[in-house]
Amino acid sequence: MSWPHKDLLDVTQLAKADALAILNAAASFQEINSRPVKKVPILKGKSVVLFFAEASTRTKTSFDVAGKRLSADTFALQKAGSSLSKGESLKDTVLTLQAMAPDAIVMRHNASGAAAFIAQRLDCAVINAGDGWHAHPTQALLDAFTLTRRWGSLEGRTVLILGDIAHSRVARSNIHLLRLLGANVRLCGPRTLLPHAVGALGVPVFSNLDEAVRGVDAVMCLRLQLERQQAGLLPDLREYSRRFGMNQARLAKAARNAVVLHPGPINRGLEIASDLADAPESLILDQVASGVAVRMALLHLYITRKEPKE
Partner 1 sequence: MSQAELVVRSALPALDPENPVDLFVAKGRVLGLHPAGAYPAPEGAKVHDAQGLVLLPGLTDVHAHLREPGQEWKETIATGLAAAAKGGFVNVFCMANTDPVNDKASVTQFMLDKALATHPRGPRLFPVGALTVGLDGKELAPLEELKAAGCRAFSNDGRPVADSELFRRAMEYASDLGVPVIDHCEDPFLAPHAGINEGAVSARLGLRGAPTAGEAIQVARDCLLAQYLGVPVHLAHISCRQSVEIIRRAKAQGAPVTAETCPHYLALTEEACEGYDTAAKVNPPLRTKDDQLALLAALEDGTIDALATDHAPHAAHEKETPFDEAPNGISGFETALSVTWELAQRGDLSTRALVSAWCVRPAEIFGLPLNRFQEGDPADFLLFDPKARWKVTPQALVSKGKNTPLTGRELTGVVRACFVAGKNVL
- Closest Cα partner for 168 from 119, 217, 220, 208? 220
How far is Cα of residue 237 from the mean position of the Cα atoms in its chain? 25
Report the chain's terminal Cα–Cα distance, integer Å: 12
29 binds partner 1 (CB under 8 A): no
Which one of residues 200, 280, 307, 309 is an interface residue with partner 1 (CB under 8 A)? 200
Q: Which residues, 40 to 99, sit near partner 1 by CB under 8 A?
A: 89-91
CB of residue 230 to partner 1, shortest distance in Å? 15
- Alpha-carbon torsion 230, 247, 203, 265, what sign? positive
Phi and psi at 143, nearest 5°, equal: -65, -45
- Alpha-carbon torsion 129, 290, 168, 82, what sign? negative
| Closest to partner 1 by CB, 183 or 194 | 194
CB of residue 91 to partner 1, shortest distance in Å? 5
191 binds partner 1 (CB under 8 A): no
| Rama region for 264: left / alpha / beta (φ>0; ψ in -120 to 50; rest) | left
CB of residue 139 to partner 1, shortest distance in Å? 14
| Closest to partner 1 by CB, 114 or 293 | 114
Q: Which residues, 93 to 132, sit near partner 1 by CB under 8 A?
A: 109, 111-114, 116-117, 131-132
CB of residue 228 to partner 1, shortest distance in Å? 13
Q: Angle at Cα 64 formed by Cα 63 and Cα 65, nearest 5°?
A: 90
| Closest to partner 1 by CB, 67 or 163 | 163
197 binds partner 1 (CB under 8 A): yes
CB of residue 82 to partner 1, shortest distance in Å? 17
| Closest to partner 1 by CB, 195 or 264 | 195
How many CB atoms are located within 10 Å of the residue 169 CB? 22
133 binds partner 1 (CB under 8 A): yes
Stretch that binds partner 1, among 19-27, 178-186, 196-204, 296-304 (CB under 8 A): 196-204
| Rama region for 215: left / alpha / beta (φ>0; ψ in -120 to 50; rest) | left
Which one of residues 43, 106, 135, 219 is an interface residue with partner 1 (CB under 8 A)? 135
How many residues bind to partner 1 according to rule CB under 8 A?
Answer: 24
SS3 269: coil
Do residues 206 and 186 lie in contact, with contact meaning Cβ atoms separated by under 8 Å? yes
145 binds partner 1 (CB under 8 A): no
How far is Cα of residue 124 from the mean position of the Cα atoms in its chain? 21
Phi and psi at 58, nearest 5°, equal: -65, -55
Q: Which residues, 158 to 177, sit near partner 1 by CB under 8 A?
A: 169, 172
Tell me which residues touch partner 1 (CB under 8 A): 89-91, 109, 111-114, 116-117, 131-135, 169, 172, 195-201
